[in-house]
Amino acid sequence: MKKWFKHPLAYVAIILAMVCGLIFVLAAVPGFNKLPSGTQNLRVVVLDQDQSSVSKNIATHLENKLPFKMVTATSLANAKRQLNTRQAALIIQIDKGFYQRVTRGQAPKLTYTVNQSNGLLQNMVTKNVTTQVTTQVTTQVASQLTTAKVTQMLAQSAGKALMQKQQAVAKQQVKQQLQASLAKSPQLAQQPAQLKKLQQQAIARVKRQQQQRLMPQVKKQAAATAATLTGQVATTTTKLHALPTNYQYQFAPMFLNLGAYLGIMLMSLVLTLMFMSARHVIGKWSALLAVQLNGFIGVLVAPLVTLGTLRCLISFSSSAFWQLFGVQVLFGLAVFEFTLAIAFLCGGLPSMILQLPLLVSQVVASGAIIPRPALNGFYRWLSTHTPMPQGVYSTFNALYGGANSGYTSALWWLISLSLLAVILIGWLGYRSTKTNPLSRLVPFTAGN
């Protein structure tokens, strides 16, 4: 037992356990420090298709009250383009005829358009926002309906209805007044012009009397009608790109790319160790070419296995399979060159001190859990300059739909720059003809 604990690897194992725990805590936890306030950076588009005074007030109210970046759109096509490219998280559409439906006592209509081809938190936030908006719009509509303008309009409508009901009574009153006037002055019956004028005066008099008598009733009825038009808002949710309700579909892009990244990172580490040994036997540039060829084969073969397994767990079409295969090959090449450059720079195994926290940080920045706008500055930078986020978003696009938005071009840039870094590091950093302990970890002889 004493001999066991005299061996340095016994303590290296303990140190490894501590370092790994420390890496995960330091690399992952700070990525969540902007939540929940970071969700305020999500953009919500308000599209007012009614353009009435009520709909404009509601749009202004939402812009002032909702804790998001509220923007307006001029057309539904423009709003959907922002949603498809993930520039916006939600479209709130105030449908045409909103105000007319309100004043008729019908439920006004709101349409929400969402893009579910996104990470978990963004989908949860947009779902909660629709509920919050519906409540606020219902309250705002009720407030608008109690204004004097709406009550006056309803009073006019109610007054006309009551006056129509009182027409028979009004005619009888006019007739009685004419008869009374003729009884006092019988000669008026022989004067048509005077008789017509007298009739018009009687009609105007009766109308004024009815208005005075019915006005309290009209006001009461109009106020009661306005109070009942608190109009429940009818809402419809349209999904630009839909996700099945099973959470396997939600997390598939993250775990597919996480597994691919980890596997390719380990492959690049092993190939770096082989390169460090083989360059003394077959030459530096031949060894480097072999590393690239070996890595390319691995990148081509691995997705066939992982995607075949994934298709047994979740359902997607054959066209989606091959589109996803193309995404995974491109992503795999970017990860391979990226991790190989770091492994070459650090001399193989020591690169894990940098590779592990970088992997964990990319998981946080990938968009699978936290949307890109809700990340803090460092993790938002990672989300646009490292392979994992581009792979996750591209996988969402291949499986569920969405615009490219530069993910593919970012992967090509990573491949090109990382490959250039590998060549430069191999040329400048591996000139020694002497072997070292790291190069002897994976023996490579001419007989191999």
Q: Which amino acid is at 435?
A: T
Instruction: Check residue 276 and give its pLDDT.
Output: 87
**For the chain, what is the mean pLDDT?**
83
Does the reported pTM lie above 0.85?
no
State both tokens at 215: 């006005």
Q: State the distance between the two ends of the chain, measured CA to CA, in whole angstroms.
A: 38
Instruction: Check residue 74 and give its pLDDT.
Output: 83
The confidence band for 103, taking pLDDT boundaries of 50, 70 and 90, is confident
8-28 and 352-365 helices cross at what angle (nearest 10)? 30
In three-state secondary structure terms, 166 is coil
Least confident of 193-202, 305-314, 362-371: 193-202
- CA 268, 270, 276, 279 torsion: positive or negative? negative
Instruction: Check residue 53 and give its pLDDT.
Output: 82
Q: How far apart are CA 153 and CA 94, in angstroms?
A: 22
State both tokens at 270: 């092993």
**Interval 326-341 mean pLDDT:** 97
Instruction: Check residue 149 and give its pLDDT.
Output: 47
**Interval 259-277 mean pLDDT:** 93
Question: What's the pLDDT tens digit per position in 217-260?
Answer: 555 655 555 555 555 788 888 999 989 888 999 999 999 999 99
Instruction: Check residue 106 and give its pLDDT.
Output: 76
State both tokens at 343: 């492994």
Give all strands of the β-sheet with 43-48 in edge-to-edge order: 69-72, 43-48, 90-94, 109-115, 234-241
* Biggest CA pair distance of the chain: 142
352-365 and 387-400 helices cross at what angle (nearest 10)? 40
The confidence band for 148, taking pLDDT boundaries of 50, 70 and 90, is very low
Whether the per-residue pLDDT at 349 is higher than 80: the answer is yes
In three-state secondary structure terms, 347 is coil
State both tokens at 347: 């001399």
